[in-house]
Amino acid sequence: MDNEQAKGEQFPRVLSRDEHNISRKDISDNALKVLYRLNKSGYDAYLVGGGVRDILLGEHPKDFDIATNATPEQIKKLFRNCRLIGRRFRLAHIVFGRDIIEVATFRGHHSNSENKESRPGKQDHSKRSDDGMLLRDNIYGSIEEDAERRDFTINALYYSTKDFKVFDFANGLEDIERRKIRLIGDPETRYREDPVRMLRAIRFATKLDMDIAKDTAQPIRELAPLMANIPAARMFEEYMKLFLSGKARANFDLLADYQLLEFLFPHISQTLAQDADDKSIDFVRQVLFNTDKRINDGKRVTPAFLLAAVLWYEIEKQNQQLLANSDISSQDAFFVAMSQVLQEQQRSIAIPKRFQLPMKDIFALQHRLTRREGSRAFKTLEHPRFRAGYDFLLYRGKVEGGDVEELAQWWTNFQEASPDTQQQMLKSFKAPRKRRRSPRKRTPSAGKE
């Protein structure tokens, strides 16, 4: 919290039941069960963070997180359906089928780690990297300390089912009214503790239609290189939140503006820096726009499709380089290029195999869709991922025009045509002749004439 902001303020600011719009009807039944049992067992427990914030904004939260003074081990004793997760941040997950309620013990300040006897639990320790990043953070404390340890002011809001009050420890209510995303504490220190907060600032700004406060935004570009320290598996989780929440296009632009895009998509970031009008950028923007539209219309999307869009033109670029500089077949060159680009991308975002496989199918279908002679078209039509490959081709056609657009239109017509018309389309199609490579001249061996 800024010193100027804190002058004359008394914290926590408390809203009584008649001063806010939060109702237990807005909270999931499972979250209420957890809150009630913790309270009944003598522990303090609050709905905290995004759940409180979103209800105050008139939204319907998807997740309900709880903060308590019970340790993870004490929570586990209360709930048979509890599992403890995490080493960096020890958390309790209370599992109700597919619904998971996350419960965190109040975090304390790291100076408390020197006095471990006053803190319960064996997991009471912390560790930092040389850059100041928190590698382990299991220091437990009071609700006041927990509020100061939270990232943004709008997330330091607590709701109690005991007395139905809202507790604001960091001027979050005022920032909600001002529509500001503001870090608690010194921004540089907080970003160094966890560089992912830079991504979270952008995601909250677009999600909530708010502006990033000047002091919170100012260090981002300078500290952006810290993102290189974040594990690729965690970056995949952040990719999912940034690009599959209905705000992908806006997040893409802000990430590029704050020089963070290269830590998610190095190839596309480099291209954007060199030529913002490149067709690959146009293509990605088209797919981002459509992804947002589908999500906001309540339709399903797959993470694989957007990832494929980001990598496609880099694969084609490396494919052409291999064909020009080596003597391998076009098919082998394509698969080598695909493997290389995916491997490079994995260093930034660890893409699970369940998404890599459909990506590879989408890539392979771009070449398979050019082959329409004989029965090939019907076999391609029966491919389990034909629709994804065809949609991908449609977007390419919009960007590239020419032969690609004509090819996409042919497949559109072929799908809609009657069986007789389909046969006529295939008969009128002439496959392009393959160019034969002229054999390389052998150099005579030494000593032979």
Q: Which of 26, 54, 65, 292 is catalytic?
A: 65
Q: Which of 2, 63, 253, 282 is catalytic?
A: 63
On the 0-12 / 13-18 / 19+ scale of CB atoms within 10 A, 104 is buried
Residue 266 is which amino acid? P
H/E stretch holding 159: strand 157-159
* Type of residue numbered 25: K
Q: Which residue from 338, 283, 297 is spatially nearest to 314, judged by alpha carbons?
A: 338
Six token digits for residue 248: 């992908």
Residue 151 annotated as catalytic = yes
Is 65 a catalytic site residue?
yes
Tokens matching residue 348: 């930034």
| Nearest Cα to Cα of residue 284 among 251, 260, 259 | 251
Catalytic residue among 26, 54, 151, 175: 151
What's the rounded Cα separation, in Å, for the pair 170 and 11? 7
Which tokens belong to 421?
């018309």
Q: Which two tokens stand for residue 238?
A: 């952040």
By the 10 Å C-beta count (0-12 exposed, 13-18 middle, 19+ buried), 162 is classed as: exposed
Q: Any catalytic annotation for residue 99? A: no
| Residue among 165, 171, 128, 129 at smallest CA distance from 148 | 171
Edge-to-edge strands, sheet with 82-85: 13-15, 166-168, 157-159, 45-48, 65-68, 99-105, 91-96, 82-85
Q: Which amino acid is at 256?
A: A
Of 232, 85, 216, nearest to 154 by C-alpha is 216
Q: Which residues contact 312 (CB under 8 A, 6 or more apart)?
A: 280, 283, 363, 366, 392, 396
d(CA 389, CA 362): 5
Q: Cβ distance 365 to 386 under 8 Å? A: yes
Report the catalytic residues.
Answer: 63, 65, 151
